[in-house]
Amino acid sequence: MTAIRVGHLYPDYLNIYADRGNIAVLAQRAVWRSHELEVTAIGMGDPIRAGEHDLYYVGGGQDREQLLVAEDLLGKASALREVVAGGAALLAVCGGYQLLGRGYRGFHGEDMPGIGLLPLETVAGERRMIGDVLLECELEPGERRTLAGFENHAGRTRLDPGAEPLGRVLAGFGNDGESGFEGCRAGRVIGTYLHGPLLPRNPWLADWLLSQALAHRSGGEPPQLEPLPDELERQAHEVSAGRARARGGKF
């Protein structure tokens, strides 16, 4: 049994659409593999220390909450860069994702600094991009998977040339409603607009994160996790994917 240590950044500020539910999925899927998830909150002023966590998680929020945490997150930037370089995994959703880039200009023109961990920039547009989304991802070469979720953001995120998106949009808006890209991936760091929560209907991504976290914990390669039946999860994925397909907007 391994205790997988999760650092949950700003749970009191960044948690819309029950983004916290992602943690519950990680915890249960860890237990089903006879592991354990140890979750600690990392709030305002709390330090990030190398070696303390295997996986970091930051949820989404409205511009107002993002503004409240942005400065504090900036203070954690170099420590976060260090832990990620050391192989820790990170999942950032929506508002959290935007703050991992170089910055976010909010709907009312507020400029929020980002920490530059991901090669991207975000500026809010007039029209919110809302609805079900379906992506095609290939996090491991040759392993194509679909990711279904829900998006609701004013921010348009532009990836730098050469940056790796999390996936290609099959239906929905994605990063900016134009590029056909959604999210960003850099090694074990994943940023995405999909929430609501994301992991219950995409168990393959939960397992990918768990296995990256286990690799950090052991200092070895990401282990192959024992497969689970996932019947309910498959149905949830199909319902969500079906809604996104009905919505259209293929790139």
Which positions are catalytic? 94, 195
Question: Exactly one of 2, 28, 62, 211 binds ligand GLN (CB under 6 A); which one?
Answer: 62
151 vs 207, beta carbon nearer ligand GLN? 151
Number of residues that bind ligand GLN (CB under 6 A): 13
CA distance 200 to 214: 20
Q: H or E stretch including 40? A: strand 36-42
Question: Considering the rule CB under 6 A, would residue 183 count as an interface residue with ligand GLN?
Answer: no
Which residues are 5's β-sheet partners? 38
Question: Considering the rule CB under 6 A, would residue 191 count as an interface residue with ligand GLN?
Answer: no
Q: Going residue by residue from 11 to 40, which x/- string records binding to ligand GLN, judged by CB under 6 A?
A: -----x------------------------
Q: What are phi and psi for residue 43, nearest 5 degrees? A: -105, -165
Question: Considering the rule CB under 6 A, would residue 63 count as an interface residue with ligand GLN?
Answer: yes
Question: Exactly one of 2, 152, 179, 211 binds ligand GLN (CB under 6 A); which one?
Answer: 152
Written as six digits, the tokens of 4 are: 């997988």
6 vs 124, beta carbon nearer ligand GLN? 124
Site for ligand GLN in 82-101 (CB under 6 A): 94-95
Quote the least distance from Cβ 192 to ligand GLN, whole Å: 11
CA distance 124 to 15: 20
Quote the least distance from Cβ 244 to ligand GLN, whole Å: 17
Instruction: List for the chain the helix, strand, coil content (%; round to 5).
Output: 30, 35, 35
Q: Going residue by residue from 102 to 141, which x/- string records binding to ligand GLN, judged by CB under 6 A?
A: ----------------------x-----------------
- Of the ranges 67-75, 108-116, 151-159, 172-180, which one interacts with ligand GLN (CB under 6 A)? 151-159
- The answer to whether the Cα torsion of 55, 61, 65, 70 is positive or negative is positive
Alpha-helical regions (H) of 101-230: 203-218
CA distance 106 to 99: 11
Q: Are 82 and 50 in contact (CB under 8 A)?
A: yes
Quote the least distance from Cβ 225 to ligand GLN, whole Å: 29
Q: Are 153 and 122 in contact (CB under 8 A)?
A: no
Written as six digits, the tokens of 62 are: 């409205």
Which residues of this chain interact with ligand GLN, rule CB under 6 A? Answer: 16, 60-63, 66, 94-95, 124, 152-155
